[in-house]
Amino acid sequence: MWLAELSERSGVPIPTIKYYRREGLLPPGETAATTRAHYDEGHLDRLRLIRALVGVAGMPIARVREVLAVVDDDAVPVAAAMGSAHVQLSPEPAREPSEASRARVAALLRARRWRARVDGRHARALAAALDAMDHAGAGMAEETLAAYAEAVTDVARADLASTTDLSRERAVERAVTGTLLGEPVLLALRRLAQEGLARRPARG
Amino acid sequence: MWLAELSERSGVPIPTIKYYRREGLLPPGETAATTRAHYDEGHLDRLRLIRALVGVAGMPIARVREVLAVVDDDAVPVAAAMGSAHVQLSPEPAREPSEASRARVAALLRARRWRARVDGRHARALAAALDAMDHAGAGMAEETLAAYAEAVTDVARADLASTTDLSRERAVERAVTGTLLGEPVLLALRRLAQEGLARRPARG
């Protein structure tokens, strides 16, 4: 396809595509004439991935370049490539999480046998979120946290199931967009469930 | 307690307390002298509730006044008073949700027997979140949505269990702070579960 079609199908404006090309994020097309190049489905997948990293996840170009380097390295298993983008999604907490909350998260990881890094971004974000509840005088009870952890196990399983049988590029894109765009769904569902269950005459 | 202690224990600065009093959100204290008034635990609970509505939920004063009127009306059951604050937490979607997504949400409410309003704010927020996934070419599969709905049922049960045995003021405060401050916890847990389960050699 020509540049115009690539732009239309990807939803990325032509000047932005040219910028990604200059930055080396998008490989050049096959030169068909001195001023025209031909692009294929691989370019389209790559462009969709860049759009997800930049537009949905808000990553700076330098970080996008790092993620793409991992995607392009066939020696890296696809799950690890997905992880390299996924780990970037949690920002560093504004303040250092408390020792107590970090210990709670470490205990949770052991209990659930999740092979996540205890000093990783997601674990630190969780500890910071627990701290915020404590500071508001609304600390989360241990059994509530356990119920949440049990619930998200099923959510994460469903998420991971939807990323199988995809190309490397599409799998990484899905890890980013599925995680981020699924968040408003999960939160709205929780509020809806709270509303729906609170209106029942008897809880059960 | 005097004003200074009320300020210290609630974490609300004295000028802000005076502002809430002028706006009629906080009842006057018992006048002990021409320039001093005495406050009790009821004032402290009320102040914490106002802080949750204004500071955590970001509600404008006019809306806080409406919520407090419901809290003060003893003819309204406590669950309904909690609902009156809770329903305000979801903003109106920026664009009208699609017919297809609204139908999906309606079917979900019927299937789960959640007594939530199909044209309510939470239901519309969910439909808008599903639309956003569709627009990104990452539409949520029906079985994924069902897995999410099943998971949040347990989350919402745990949330509701933590609001029993509280005064009206504290129950409404908890409905607001527990919902909002619990959201970063839930999202960080999901990312952590995704990380932890993706790193397992075999999924199970």
Q: Is residue A114 a contact partner of residue A201, using CB atoms and an 8 Å limit?
A: no
Distance from CA of A99 to the nearest CA of B (A): 17
- Inter-chain touch A90–B188, beta carbons under 8 Å: yes
**Per-residue pLDDT tens over the stretch B131-148:** 999 988 889 999 999 999
Residue of A nearest to B85 (CA): A195
**Per-residue pLDDT tens over the stretch A3-31:** 999 999 988 999 999 999 999 999 999 88
Rg (CA), chain B: 21
- Inter-chain touch B152–A151, beta carbons under 8 Å: yes
| Sequence-separated contacts (24+) of B31-36 with Cβ below 8 Å | B36/B2, B36/B3
> Closest by alpha carbon to B55, among A196, A138, A128?
A138
Which amino acid would we find at residue B37? A
At which residue do the structure tokens 């297809």 appear? B100
Size of interface A-B (CB pairs under 8 A): 252
Distance from CA of B109 to the nearest CA of A (A): 8
Distance from CA of A23 to the nearest CA of B (A): 24
**Per-residue pLDDT tens over the stretch B23-61:** 999 999 988 777 788 999 999 999 999 998 998 888 899
Among A77-91, B4-18, B102-116, which is the least confidently predicted range?
A77-91
Mean pLDDT, chain A, integer: 90
Chain B CB contacts of A111 under 8 Å are none
Q: Is residue B108 a contact partner of residue B149, using CB atoms and an 8 Å limit?
A: yes
ipTM score of complex:
0.87
Q: Which of B83, B152, B197 sits opposite A198 (nearest CB)?
A: B83
> Closest by alpha carbon to A197, among B156, B166, B118?
B156
pLDDT at B92: 87
Residue of A nearest to B132 (CA): A181
pLDDT at B50: 93
Q: For residue A62, which phi and psi values (nearest 5 degrees)?
A: -60, -40
Q: Does pLDDT of B202 surpass 70?
A: no
Q: Is residue A162 a contact partner of residue A174, using CB atoms and an 8 Å limit?
A: yes
**d(C-alpha B201, C-alpha B182), whole Å:** 31
**pLDDT-based confidence at residue A201 (cuts at 50, 70, 90):** low
pLDDT at A203: 43
Show the DSSP H helices in A73-141 as ranges: 78-86, 99-112, 121-135
Show the DSSP H helices in B73-167 as ranges: 78-86, 99-112, 121-135, 142-161
Mean pLDDT, chain B, integer: 90
Q: Does pLDDT of B164 surpass 80?
A: no
**Per-residue pLDDT tens over the stretch A82-140:** 988 998 888 888 889 999 999 999 999 999 999 999 999 999 999 999 999 998 888 99
At which residue do the structure tokens 């639309």 appear? B131
The rounded percent of chain B whose pLDDT value lies above 70 is 98
Q: Which of B122, B141, B187 sits opposite A191 (nearest CB)?
A: B122
Cα B31 to chain centroid distance, Å, stands at: 34
Q: For residue B64, which phi and psi values (nearest 5 degrees)?
A: -60, -40
Distance from CA of B45 to the nearest CA of A (A): 12
Q: Which of A90, A162, A197 sits opposite B191 (nearest CB)?
A: A90
Q: Which of B123, B151, B158 sits opposite A192 (nearest CB)?
A: B123
At which residue do the structure tokens 């309904």 appear? B80
**Per-residue pLDDT tens over the stretch B60-77:** 999 899 999 999 998 988
Enter the pTM of the model.
0.87
